[in-house]
Amino acid sequence: MAATMRGTTAIVGLAETTYYRRGGAEDAEFKLGLMAVRAAAEDAGIDVRDIDGFCSYSNDRNDPTRFHTALGLHDLKWSSMVWGGGGGGCAGAVAMAAAAVHAGIATNVVVFRALAQGQFGRFGAASQTGALQGAAAYTQPYGQMSPAQSYAMKVTRFMHDHGVEQSALRAVSLASYYHAQRNPRAVMYGRPLDEEKYDNSRWIVEPFHLYDCCQENDGAAAVIVTTAERARDMKNKPVYILAGGQGSQYRQSAWAHNAPDYGTSNFKNNAKSMFDMAQVKPEEVDVAQVYENFTGGVVMSIIEHGLIPVEQANEEFTLDNFRFDGGKLPLNTSGGNLAECYMHGFELVTEAARQIRGESTAQVDDPEISLVAGGPMVEPTSNLLLGAQV
Amino acid sequence: MANATKAEIEAGGSYLPTPVATPMAMVDGLDTPYYEGKERDELWVQYCAECSEHQWGPEWICHGCHSYDVEWRQVAPEGRIFSWERIWHPVHPDLAEAVPYVVVLIELPHADDIRMVGNLLGDPEEEIMIGTEVEAVFEHHPDHDPPYTLVQWSRK
């Protein structure tokens, strides 16, 4: 096999601000970003001025050159963004940082997301109104105007094709809320969810109940990526980056829902490339953080990563299987987008790293392999495999 | 609740109460034949003669053979339900009285199963079955500035 970046880089620092409900942050979005970046550097035990690269995704408003100038950094050797909306780039941004470090272009790359929906508008409200051209003109005039509405039809078709039941979606939601009850950072800490509360919750758009949909929040989170060699001499246990990347299946962005393979999370390409790069099999994954924009996307993502066969979805998508304490596939162990914070999936990256470091509030016993899957049903999606050892 | 029927749309009604968002042909001309066709109650989509295949959404190139000479052809305004959603939570204040309403994804078997998004006319709480045969109903808004037409769908 050709040389890859497998195990040549590591996450050495991680941090987040307080997570707030949408509109709850008193600090400006950029200040939240500054706080997360500085805290991640402190966690790594490096001088923040030694950061020399920035990666983010989803058109983050907070420009690397502004950070560079505001913090008085010595140099800026790398800045890059995963294109595409949603949280599809949350794992890919880390992979991009790893690639930059692996290539020797930069040494300490910070990957971050700062998002104050209270200050800059909600994702869940109709954002495009008036006279529209292009792709939006083929959907929004019919009242399909929000992310939940854009993806519900994909999930319905997937459920129809494979006989997947609503209980599979419910299990994903229950797992996030279960784990959030152990996590004081979680916005939904102290707000448990059970089957009855889920079943009785209002429809947002069928097949999504209220609890199938992510929150909208304010906050920021960041991690620091450097070489594996440097990581071994630093203060935290290294979280090795075994593989990561982006992907999108054939014609997934065709307008008006014309992707030939429709009922898909869009992980069929990059699930394989990630496991190949890591030289890991799906059954070796010890803990998984799988992006919940909407629970149906998590069901498809888990299946398309080979973690649960589609034929067994109705039997195996249960809270018992997803619990950190004894579940076969501990899932979204911080509470994720549904119940910790919708930090656009970056809270999944920090949690996946915490699991390897042994610092989760819902800690799995000595995990070796920790998965992040970012942004189902968007284009591109991205994923990441973290390891306790190379 | 949005529940306009085919007859009500053909008499000048609309499915959603007010035009929160309205469609407009692209200024670069990419999808003009589609927009002009809708005004005449016709469905026009792209077709590559080299590949003998319809292409949708429109693009300046055929994704199969990379020819720039992509034609436009009229297709039968009928299809079947490929997927659907019933929307209960309004994401814009002007839609607060319109919920629930139904958005459907229709595949066109006479055009290589390309798909179109529209509303399913009639009672939004009626059971919806994937595979149900539907026909297009053209919802015209001639008095709007600029004028526009939506392609809606009605059970056959």
Say whether B150 and A142 touch across the interface (CB within 8 A).
Answer: yes
Q: Residue A237 in contact with residue A358, Cβ under 8 Å? A: yes
Q: Which of A258, A222, A252, A242 is nearest to A40 (CA)?
A: A222
A161 close contact with B: CB closer than 8 A? no
A196 close contact with B: CB closer than 8 A? no
User: What's the number of domains chain B is made of?
Assistant: 1
Position B65 in a domain = yes
Residue A150 to residue B103: CA distance in whole angstroms: 10
Position B97 in a domain = yes
Q: Amino acid identity, residue A308?
A: I
Q: Which of B23, B117, B130 sits opposite A144 (nearest CB)?
A: B117
Residue B43 to residue A84: CA distance in whole angstroms: 31
Which pLDDT value is given to residue A130? 86
- Tell me if residue A345 falls in helix, strand or coil: coil
Contact residues, A window 215-274, toward B, CB-based 8 Å cutoff: 251, 254-258, 262-263
Give chain B's radius of gyration (CA, Å).
Answer: 16
| Model ipTM value | 0.98
Q: Residue A37 in contact with residue A67, Cβ under 8 Å? A: yes
- Residue written as tokens 């390897």? A356
**Residue A35 falls in which region: left (phi positive, over 0), alpha (psi -120 to 50) or beta:** alpha
Mean pLDDT of B128-144: 97
Looking at CA atoms only, how far is residue A342 from chain B in angstroms? 19
Residue A81 to residue A77: CA distance in whole angstroms: 14
Q: Amino acid identity, residue B126?
A: E
The predicted-structure confidence for B80-98, as pLDDT tens digits, reads as follows 999 999 999 999 999 999 9
Position B123 in a domain = yes
Position B1 in a domain = no
List chain B residues with CB under 8 Å of A131. 22-24, 146
Phi, then psi, of A142 in degrees rounded to 5: -95, 10
Say whether B85 and A152 touch across the interface (CB within 8 A).
Answer: yes
Q: Which of A164, A165, A171, A63 is nearest to A112 (CA)?
A: A63
Query: Which residue in A57, A198, A240, A342 is the catalytic one?
Result: A342
Residues 6+ apart with CB under 8 A from A275: A243, A281, A282, A306, A385
CA A214 to chain centre: 12
List chain A residues with CB under 8 Å of B57. 135, 138, 254-256, 258
The predicted-structure confidence for B94-111, as pLDDT tens digits, reads as follows 999 999 999 999 999 999
Q: Residue A384 in contact with residue A375, Cβ under 8 Å? A: no
Q: Which of B94, B101, B136, B98 is nearest to B122 (CA)?
A: B101
Residues 6+ apart with CB under 8 A from A52: A73, A74, A75, A76, A77, A78, A106, A107, A108, A109
The predicted-structure confidence for B37-93, as pLDDT tens digits, reads as follows 999 999 999 999 999 999 999 999 999 999 999 999 999 999 999 999 999 999 999
Residue of B nearest to A148 (CA): B87
Which pLDDT value is given to residue A250? 97
Position B133 in a domain = yes
Widest CA span of chain B, in angstroms? 48
Say whether B105 and A257 touch across the interface (CB within 8 A).
Answer: yes
Burial level of B68, CB count in 10 A (0-12/13-18/19+)?
Answer: exposed
List chain B residues with CB under 8 Å of A152. 85
Residue A291 falls in the annotated catalytic set: yes
Q: Name the packing angle between helices A346-357 and A90-102 (round to 10°).
A: 60
Query: Is the pTM for the entire model greater than 0.90?
Result: yes
Domains located in chain A, CATH noted:
9-120+213-387 (3.40.47.10)
Say whether B88 and A152 touch across the interface (CB within 8 A).
Answer: no
Q: B142 or A129, which is more confident?
A: B142
The pLDDT tens digits along chain A (390 residues) read: 568 999 999 999 999 999 999 999 999 999 999 999 999 999 999 999 999 999 999 999 999 999 999 999 999 999 999 998 789 999 999 999 999 999 999 999 999 999 998 888 778 887 777 899 999 999 999 999 999 999 999 999 999 999 999 999 999 999 999 999 999 999 999 999 999 999 999 999 999 999 999 999 999 999 999 999 999 999 999 999 999 999 999 999 999 999 999 999 999 999 999 999 999 999 999 999 999 999 999 999 999 999 999 999 999 999 999 999 999 999 999 999 999 999 999 999 999 999 999 999 999 999 999 999 999 999 999 999 999 999
Phi, then psi, of A357 in degrees rounded to 5: -75, -15
Which pLDDT value is given to residue A2? 63
Widest CA span of chain A, in angstroms? 57
DSSP β-bridge partners for residue A213: A294
Sheet with B43-48: strands ordered across: B53-55, B43-48, B71-75
- How much helix, strand and coil, in percent to the nearest 5, is found in chain A? 40, 20, 45
Mean pLDDT of B24-29: 96
Q: Which of A245, A319, A313 is nearest to A275 (CA)?
A: A245
- Give me the domain span that covers residue B113: 6-18+25-155
